Chain A
Amino acid sequence: MISLELGEVLEQSRQGMHDLATNLFRPIARKYDIAEHEYPKELDLMRPAPKKEPAEGAEKKAEPPKEEKKKEKSKKPKFDNLSGVLSVEELCWGDVGLMLTIPGMGLGNAAIAAVGTPEQKMKFGALWAAMAITEPEAGSDSASVQTTAVLDGDEWVLNGEKIFVTCADRSDIVVVWANIEPSAGKAGIKSFIVEKGTPGFKLEHLEHKLGIRASDTGTFVLKDCRVPKENLLGNPEVKKKEGFAGVMQTFDNTRPTVAAMALGVARAALEFTKEKIEEQGFSLSYDKNVNNVSSLEKEFYIMEASLEAMRLLIWQAASMADAGIRNSLQASMCKAKAGKAGTQITQKCCELLGPLGYTQNNLAEKWMRDVKITDIFEGTGQIQHLIVARQLMKLSSSELK
């Protein structure tokens, strides 16, 4: 199940994103690689407009009645996920660090949209929400988070430490994972909305990173941090049977997105390399036996093929999600491939570019640093391989560790 040809609508939206990446992201890519921790104010252009009070009610009236709307929807094929990965590819072709720090588009926002109650969406939907999962002792093993939440009257009391929080400084609120019943293991893990400025919620420091420096990453300490009872996201019940599966399922949608980030960056590196190869008088003709061309051209062709392979695996996972087909296997497959191939392509581009690939006068060295994160966050490449193998062979996590 895959859409192999993009229709006109998708092609247009892709082009729109490409223009945005060209005009807004590329010109400031280096600036915020150097000015790490400084908020890229140029991105204010993308800040969502504050929600209007529904005073007039005029807009609501204009909408067709619910049933009719539903019918219309079901007729049209959906392309939400495919259009999503296309946008991400284009924006990350511009700059992945900037893409990760678009105001109002944090991972926490996705969580609120996915599992928030209508009241939570109303109250927090327009804010910029970061997501705090990882802890010093809970990296890939996100089920082992040690942060606790204890109900005390009408408030949850949170204690623990969260690291590697994207948009730590810039966000308005943070969605924090904590365990409300440690004896129940991972089934007790819930997420909480914590507003900035809440007593006991402190941004400890910001990290200095290998790449994606335009995106700030920080550590929070929660010390007797009290949040209102209604800030627990989703269902407060501890379901031992269901366990962690529900939480992990959200990754089915985000993994192709991360893979698309790798694709965008790798494509940027490859296009730049192509430009330089062609300046040297080589023309890529896509017909000769690869053993009869220069090794430079051969390497290029192999990388371009690999890039296509990444793209199609991503489209496959996204197309399946759009069609409502379970895609955990394909989501992990595309991320496993993209994280690895993206890293290899950007490294090889630097190699082929020689000094042009090592100097900060070009972006190639930056792309090599930036793309590496895609093989790490949202599940490392190794974790993706584990998931793929377990799913293929129906092995449990205790059988295949």
Chain B
Amino acid sequence: MSKEQKMIKNEVAKLVKDVVTENAGEMDSSGAIPQDSLQKAWELGASVSMVSEELGGFGMDDSPITTAIVLEELAYGDMAFAVSTTLPSLLISPLVSMGTEAQQKKYLPLFCAESYNPCTLAINEPHFGFDVTDMKTTAEKKGAAYVLSGMKCFVPQAAQASHILVAASLNGKGNLFLVEKGAAGMTISERENNLGLYSLDTYEITLDNCEVAEEDRLGGENGCDFDAFIAKTRIGMSAIGTGISRASFEFGMNYAKDRVQFGEPIVHRQSVAFMIAEMAYEVDAMRLMTWKAASNLEAGKDAKREAYLAKLYVGEQAMRVTDFGVQLLGGHGYIREYPVERYYRNGRGISIIEGMATV
């Protein structure tokens, strides 16, 4: 980590400590993240840092590794918080890297204001065998417009978002479309209830012949590099999975160090200590896989394979590590007074959900 990266990491860690650590349980049971916490995170500017200054951002270099560090740190506090606070980047980041000049000028300033303006990405679909490479939501060219049809789910903050970036298949290829709130043919459901992410409001979206102007196809006439975008979101999800797992590992370890049974701390027993050792190296491995994929992007190389393997690995290991976290606390791990059950529920999402974070 460079000096700058360490500084950024510490700043995010401080924010997490101030507004998340103590409150994550409360946010989870109340189902909402307080507005002022979101605003505080927004003021750090992570989502808009790579937008050019003239369009309202900071004009910083886009560093996927730094973003991964930030995401891990946020998710170490809480996954729902990490997703909420970086949500705008799911629209901003592809816009910056793949949008036409006109699209950038039109949309970017909307999301670089001083206050948090929700926008989101609709990519997951509510059916068995969902595959981001083979989406059932379709786009069809009709005259000067594209017509979108299909269902989307797990769309964070869709009800508040002024714009939704919708992923749809056009002639069998993934594409992204900028859809404004209230577009005809787009219906947003009641809030969803999921296994995890209680404090993140997500929605199902129905697209019924929803018309999008042709200039709102991301990248214009030729579309965008959808695979590259997916790779970036996979790295983002991996960073988040690493953060949740680290939280579960540290909480479980500290608990087990203090927990006395049969006259001594339970970590004096190999069966417990070995679980902790395994959690430790798996968390490191998860982080390194994430960074390796991000590093490929920084070096200007393709990251498809690395991002795929990172998300696969992190998805598998996040379940294992967060399971160990619950197990270390025994019965207490099952009670919502402790955070490990939340890590366990949230951790399950990494391998299932696509595109809730990006680098």
Contacts and interface: CB of A to CB of B under 8 A. Distances in A.
B42 to A, nearest CB: 30
Interface in B250-287: 253, 257, 267-268, 270, 273-274, 276-278, 280-282, 284-286
Interface stretch (B74-82, B124-132, B163-171): B124-132
Contacts of B282: 309, 337
Interface stretch (A9-17, A158-166, A176-184, A383-391): A383-391
B277 A4 contact: no
A289 B133 contact: yes
Interface in B117-170: 129-134
B8 interface: no
Contact of A393 (B130, B253, B292, B304): B253
6 contacts: A2-B291, A309-B286, A313-B281, A336-B281, A384-B277, A400-B270
Main secondary structure of the interface of B (DSSP, over half): helix
B280 A388 contact: yes
Interface of A: 1-2, 4-5, 286-292, 301-302, 304-306, 308-310, 312-313, 315-316, 330, 333-334, 336-337, 382, 384-386, 388-390, 392-393, 395, 399-401
Contacts of B313: 302, 305-306, 308-309
Contacts of A382: 270, 274
Nearest to A392: B280
B257 A290 contact: no
Contacts of B308: 286-287, 301
Given A290-B312, A302-B316, A386 B273 contact: yes
A111 to B, nearest CB: 27
Q: Which of A5, A305, A333, A386 has the most CB of B within 10 A?
A: A305
A5 B289 CA distance: 13
Given A333-B280, A386-B270, A400-B273, A304 B309 contact: yes
Lowest 8 A-B CB distances belong to which pairs? A312-B288, A389-B273, A388-B277, A309-B285, A333-B281, A305-B313, A4-B295, A305-B309
Given A287-B230, A393-B276, A308 B129 contact: no
A313 B134 contact: no
Contacts of A290: 312
Q: Which of B285, B288, B306, B310 has the most CB of A within 10 A?
A: B285
A368 to B, nearest CB: 22
Given A5-B295, A385-B270, A390-B273, 16 more contacts: A2-B288, A4-B288, A4-B292, A286-B309, A287-B227, A289-B131, A292-B131, A305-B289, A305-B309, A313-B284, A315-B288, A385-B278, A386-B277, A389-B274, A393-B257, A395-B267
A386 B275 CA distance: 10
B305 interface: yes
A90 B192 CA distance: 51
A385 B316 CA distance: 20
Q: Which of A4, A5, A304 has the most CB of B within 10 A?
A: A4
A389 B289 contact: no
Contacts of B132: 287, 289
A393 B299 CA distance: 37
A292 B136 CA distance: 14
Contacts of A384: 277
B173 to A, nearest CB: 12
Nearest to A287: B133
Contacts of A330: 284
Contact of B281 (A286, A291, A315, A388): A388
B133 A288 contact: yes
Nearest to A336: B281
Nearest to B288: A312
B138 to A, nearest CB: 18
A316 B288 contact: yes
Contacts of B267: 389, 393, 395, 400
A330 B284 CA distance: 9
B349 to A, nearest CB: 14
A5 B278 CA distance: 26
Contacts of B288: 2, 4, 309, 312-313, 315-316
A401 B270 CA distance: 7
B3 to A, nearest CB: 13
Contacts of B133: 287-289
Contacts of A385: 270, 273-274, 277-278
A337 B130 CA distance: 32
B277 A308 contact: no
Contact of A301 (B230, B273, B299, B312): B312
